[in-house]
Every structure is written in C-alpha cells, then in structure tokens.
Structure 1
Amino acid sequence: MEFSLTHEQEMLVSSVRSFVEKELQPHEFAVDRADEVPPALAASIRKKSIELGLYAFNMPESVGGAGLDYLSQALVERELGRTSWALHVFVARPSKILMACKGEQIERYLKPSVRGDRVDCFALTEPGAGSDAMGIRTRAVRDGDHYVINGSKHFISHAETADFVILFAVTGEEERRGRTRKLVTCFLIDKDTPGMTVRRGPHCTSLRGYHQSEIFLTDCRVHVSQILGEEHHGFDLASEWLTAGRVMVAANNIGRAQRAFEMAAEWAATRQQFGKRIGDFQGTSFKLADMATEIRAAELVTFYTADKLDKGTMTDGDAALAKLLATETLGRVTDHAVQIYGGMGLMDELPIERFWRDARIERIWEGTSEIQRHILSKEIMRQYS
C-alpha cells in the first residue's frame, strides 16, 4: 500500500480540519454543558456541510453523494473525530444500507437522505439483545399486504431527530443443522407511523448532546413495499453495514486520540514543576512516547484496512482488528492525558475530562471489544482448521 496521500486527499484533510476547527469546536463546551445541540446550530452545521460538499460524503455519486473511496472517507472521519459526535453527526453520513433501496424507496428514502432533506436512524439493538443481535425479539407478522410489528428497541442513536427508522424484526424461523434460527427482515418505517413511539433514553455519561432513544412498537402496520432488501435477509444487509462502519469508527477514534495527545504534549512542554517542564521527567515523557506510538500504529492499521475495503479484500477480522486497536488506543491515550494534566485533567474548564468520558463508549458500541476479539480469533483459528 502507498501510504502517501494524493494532492486531492491532502486538500480534503485540510478543508475538513478547517471546518471542524471553525464551525464545530467552538460549540463543544456549551453543547456538553447543556446536553443539547440547539436546532438552529444543527441546521447551520448541516447547511454549511452541504455547501462544502461534505454532506453524505460516504454515498456514491450515482445517488448524489460525494463518491469518496473508503480511504478518503477514513481521512474525513479522522478529522471529524477531532470534535464531539454531538456536533459532527450533522455532517451526516446516511446509512449505507440505504443503497439497498429500490423502486419508489429511492425517491422516498435514499435520495432525500443524501440531499439532507430526511434523516435516518438504525434500530437493531434491544434491551435483551445487544452483542447477541440474533437475540432480538421484536416480531413482524404478515397480515395481507402489511406486517404488524410489536416490540421495542433501545440505544438508538439520534432517533429523536430522525425522520424514519431502519428497523429489524423477526419475520420467521428456519431449521438449520438441528437448530432453530431466526429469520430477520429490515423495514423502512416513517416516524409518524401509527403504533410507533420514540422517546429519549436514559442520560449517558459519554457524548452529551448526542442522544440515544427508545422505540416502542405496538401493532404498528407497515406495508410490504417498505421492506428494505429481501424478506428474511435483513442480517445480510446489517452485517455489511456494520463491518464497514467499524473501520470508520476506528478512524474517528484516531482523530480524537490525536487531539488529546497534542493537548497533553503542549501541556507537558509548558507546565513547570520542580523547576523543570513536566515533559522532561521520564514518567511523563514515556507516556507521550507510548501515546504517539499507539496512535501511529492504530492509524496505519485503520488506513490499511480502509484500503483493503476499497480493493474488496477486507475481511471481518480486518475490520474487527482496526476497531479494537483504535478504540482501546483512544482509551489509553485519554487516560494518559488526564494523568499528565493532573488535577486539571478532571476539571470541566478543559476538554480533557470530556475526551476521557467520551472515549469510554467507543469500546462498547458498534460491537464491544470482546466481540471484536471473538471475530478476529475465529478468523485466525479458521486458518488452522
């Protein structure tokens, strides 16, 4: 792999970093304090990202997106990672799973999402089915040309501001190798559909201002035309979306780790104790060396994985490795940053404590670190079967 960036990629990185520093970072403190992004600010970010050509950068040109390759997408995600999810979510990346839209779904859901006219949310997780996605219990029962859906979802990001839900429900069962296996179907459901209720979930320590919601479905009737993809093949779509998404989560984490590192290094270079810069003490300088090493390693692995994704050679294990390494690196880097800052690292006058809080969720969502290790270890063992 060629690790140098093209001129176009360098310009892209510069443009996105400038946008983040000017349009997003100045609002971090207020959003974190209020646990809310004012609607006017959200609209402004969305408008400016559309004008800059950043909106829907993950979608192909054929449907109106920026058409960036995966490596370039990872570069954008790294720069967006230098600010809060609560803010950079409005530089929207519509769910790539919407590329499975067909017929009238394209004009109703796909293209409006790319233009910024409609916003989606992805609803798979349930109270009894987190890491065990096959454990979902929300069920859709066929009734003529409709499905009647009952069940609930939770930990659904920005569902309160979404216009429609990409929702997964059990639609049948099959016997396979002596075991009963659930068949799952994906549905596109407008949020004003009777029988579906969305409410704010419990307040989270991480990512204040970026809310998660609960969705309740009671005899919610959905027409068969709103099936995304094929009936009973919802997990085929979900697996494809989740796997690629893990690479972008890794890239996002690298940007946040780099920002925390830069702030810690500057503090170490200016903070005086015992007549010396604290960065001159081995206890601090070695932390900085470890932080720089881990960030560089995670970045190279992530970009290498994104390149494999572009070439069609990435495996589930590759994506798991990138997500595992980057998220755990972020956790260690932010913890070291707090230690270098000392007591000030935990004061809300500085963003370090927020970086530390926000880092914790990254090892949980989009598949826990334990799930990533499980995927990777299974792939390793298959080579010796």
Structure 2
Amino acid sequence: MEFGLTEEQKMIVETTRAFVENELFPHELEVERSGVLPVELIREIQKKAMEAGLYAANMPAEVGGAGLDTLSWLLYEKELGRANYALHWTCVARPSNILLAGNAEQREQYLMPCIRGETWDCLAMTEPGAGSDLRGMKASARQDGDDWILNGTKHFISHADLAGFAIVFVATGEEQTPRGPKKKITAFFVDKGTPGFTVREGYRNVSHRGYTNAVLEFDDCRVNKRQILGEVHKGFEVANSWLGATRLQVASTCLGRAERALDLSVRYAAEREQFGQKIGKFQGISFKLADMAMELKAAELLTREAAWKYDQGTVTEADMSMAKLKATEVLAHVADEAIQIHGGMGLMDELPLERIWRDARVERIWEGTSEIQRHIISRELLRAHGA
C-alpha cells in the first residue's frame, strides 16, 4: 500500500479545499443561524461547482462524473466534509451510486438528470418502527398486473423536499427460514407527484442545519414494473452491492470536520495566553492536542486502508465498519476536546466548533449505528471460528 498521494490526488485535495474555503465557508453562518439553505444559493454554488469539475465527481467518467478511484473520491469527500453539511451535500451534490444499478432506460430517466444538476435523488429505507432492523419494515407493495401498489410510511428521509424522486425499499413478499419468516424486499423508483405519494415536513434536527429530512407517505401509490430497481425481491442485494461504500463516505466527511476542529485548536493554543504563557505550554492542553492528532491519524489510516482494499477488491464489511466506527467516534472526541480548549468561546456560533460538535452526534447513528458496526466487526471475527 502506497501512503503518499499522487500528483493528481494532491491536485484534487487542493482544488476541493480552495472551493470549500472560498465558496462554502462564507455562507456557513447564514445557514446555521437560519436553518435554511435558499434555492438561489444552491443554484449559485451548484453552477460554480460544475465549472470547477466538482459536481457529481463521485460518478464514473462514462456517465459524466470524474471517474475517481475510491481513495481519490474519499480525499475529495474529506475536504467537502469540512463545511456545513447542507452546503456541501446539496450544492456540490454526489448522486447515490445505487443509481448505477439501473438499466439503460432508468439511467437516462433518473441518473443523468442528477448528474446534470437538474434534480436530486433520495433513499427511503427507514421507517418509524424499523431503523436498523430493515427486515422489520411494514411498508409494502403488492402486484396488480404490470403495476405495483405501494402503501406505508418512511421517515428521516434526507433532502426529500428537494429530490425529484425517491428510491423506496418495501416488502413484497415473505419467505420461511430456519430462524422464522423473512421479508423479501424490492426497490422502486417513485417520482414526486405520483398520485398517492406525499412528502411531508420531517423533524427539527440539532445536527446539520439546513439539511432537511422528511416523512414519505404512500397510500395506494401505483408504479409500473419498469420502475423496479434491480429485480423483484432482490432489494437487499442491490443495496448491499451499491451502498457499502457510503460508510467510507461518512468516515471521510467526519475526518474533514475533525481536522478542521484540530487545526483551530492548535492555532488557538499557540496564540492564547493565560498566566503569562501560551496555553499550549500547559500539559493539560498539550496532551489533549497530542491525543486528538493521534486518534485522527488512526481513523484516517483505517479509512485509507479500506479505500485501497475497496479498489483491490479485497475490502470486507468489517474494514468499512471499522473505518466508519473509528472516524465517527474520533470526530465526537476531537470536537468535544476542541471546545474544552477554547473554553466559553468554543460554544459561541462565531466559531464553527459548536456546529461541528452538534453535527458529530448523528454520525454515530445514521448509515448504521455504532452498535451495528461493532456487531458486523465481531461477527466477522467469530465466523472464522465457526461461531
């Protein structure tokens, strides 16, 4: 494994970092205080991101993306992650790579408009009674000739208010297993405006202000069989094949925020004076900085290793879970220590630290809770011994 970055990767980091600092940072305070990301601002930054070659950069070159390898993509994600989440996710959009699982007609109808910046996608899995236990979902679809009729509710669906369509996972049958009945899941494309499909305002979240969530309701919502993503009853297979790397994406954006918090803390400790000397000279502060830097490096190495193995075709579920788990927990630690180093000013919104601290909390919940990640890691260890 090569630890150094190529010239191309260095350029990706420099270009993305400059864009984040010049085009995203200036709008953070406005979005944080209002909780709103204006559509005019989205379009303004979106246009600049396209001109810089940063929009939909996670996509393969053959569909108009940057064609980045996994490590280069995660370096890009880390730089974007330093900014307010709504600004970087919405204005410098990265369409879900599950859209690549669609057939030619579906790619033209759903993927390409996202890459051109004409719309956004959203993924609808979580339900009020089924979060980590997706097999417990109650939303369902029944076949009616060439159509399927969807019923049920999804919640915590990110940026569904902006999205032009949803990729909805619902139960379409049941099979018996030695451990009892198991639901068969199918994924459907559902266009906004389809009769029986309603998007309602979601919950107010302390994390990621300006980045909305919604409740999706399906009431005898009829879709054609052409809108099935993948195969009937194979929704989990398509999700597992295409969404695994999202844990690495979460890890990378967390690394970006943690690095920003550490940089601010180092600068502050080198400038702030108390009792006649810089506070960085005090062991109580210097040891914090050392631990923050060490933990951040460990999380970054885990993430880079997983990215490298992903491209080699050798990555395991445990590799990606370790990266996600470590990076999200390190972000929480670094954000908290950064505020402690800054004292009262750390909690004021003139600095981004209180935002980074708030935003850190959701990272240990979405894309698989920390408990789920530990379960995946331990399961892989035990399987080697037949347990």
User: 1:56 deviation in Å?
Assistant: 1.2
CA distance in 1, matches of 2:122, 2:57: 17
Cα drift, residue 183 of structure 1: 0.3
Q: Which amino acid aligns with 2:304?
A: F
How many residues are paired up?
A: 385
Amino acid at match of 2:81: G
- Aligned AA (1:24): L
Residue matched to 1:164: 165
Match in the other structure for 2:67: 67
1:313 aligns with 2:314: yes
Q: Which residue does the alignment assign to 2:32?
A: 32
Separation in 1, partners of 2:300, 2:234: 34
- SS of the aligned residue for 1:159 comes to coil
List gaps (5 residues or longer) in structure 2. none
Aligned to 2:22: 22
Q: Secondary structure at the match of 1:182?
A: strand
Q: Which moved more, 1:225-234 or 1:347-356?
A: 347-356
Partners in 1 of 2:179 and 2:157 — Cα distance?
Answer: 34
Residues in 2 aligned to 1:146 and 1:333: alpha-carbon distance in whole angstroms: 51
Tell me by how many angstroms 1:240 deviates: 2.7
Partner of 1:128: 129
Aligned residue runs from structure 1 range 46-85, under 5 A? 46-85=46-85
**Is contact 1:242–1:366 with CA below 8 Å preserved after alignment?**
no
- Residue of structure 2 equivalent to 1:7: 7
Q: In the alignment, what sits opposite 2:271?
A: 270
Alpha carbons 1:348, 1:354 under 8 Å: kept: yes
What is the alpha-carbon distance in structure 2 between the residues aligned to residue 312 and residue 192 of structure 1? 40
Summarize deviations over 1:288-321 as a string: whole Å, max 9, x none. Answer: 0000001111111101100111111111110000
Find the counterpart in structure 2 of residue 281 from structure 1. 282
Inter-partner Cα distance in structure 2 for 1:283 and 1:241:
45
**What's the counterpart of residue 222 of structure 1?**
223
Distance in 2 of aligned mates of 1:311 and 1:45: 35
Matched with 2:380 is: 379
Cα distance in 2 between the residues matched to 1:79 and 1:276? 33
Q: Which residue of 1 aligns with 2:209?
A: 208
C-alpha distance after superposition, 1:98-146 (max 9, x if no partner): 1111142121112222222221001100011111111111000111111
Q: CA-to-partner distance for each residue in 1:185-230, whole Å, 9 max, x for gaps?
A: 0000101111011122110001010011110111100111000001
Equivalent residue number for residue 198 of structure 1: 199
Is contact 2:97-2:243 (8 Å) kept?
A: no
The Cα shift of 1:242 comes to 3.1
Given residue 361 of structure 1, which amino acid in structure 2 is its aligned partner? V
Secondary structure, aligned partner of 2:245: helix
* CA–CA distance in structure 2, aligned partners of residues 170 and 199 of structure 1: 22
1:221-264, CA deviations, whole angstroms, 9 ceiling, x for partnerless residues? Answer: 01110000011000111123332100111011101000000001
Q: Say whether the 8 Å CA contact 2:101–2:242 is kept in structure 1.
A: no
Residue identity matched to 1:29: L
TM superposition shift of 1:178: 5.3
RMSD over aligned Cα atoms: 0.9
AA aligned to 1:325 is K
Superposed CA offset, 1:43-73 (max 9, x none) = 1121111111111111111222111110100
Q: Does 1:101 align with 2:102?
A: yes
- Show the counterpart of 1:301: 302
Given that 1:324 and 1:363 are in contact with CA atoms closer than 8 Å, whether structure 2 keeps it comes out as yes
Quick one: percent identity of the two aligned structures? 57
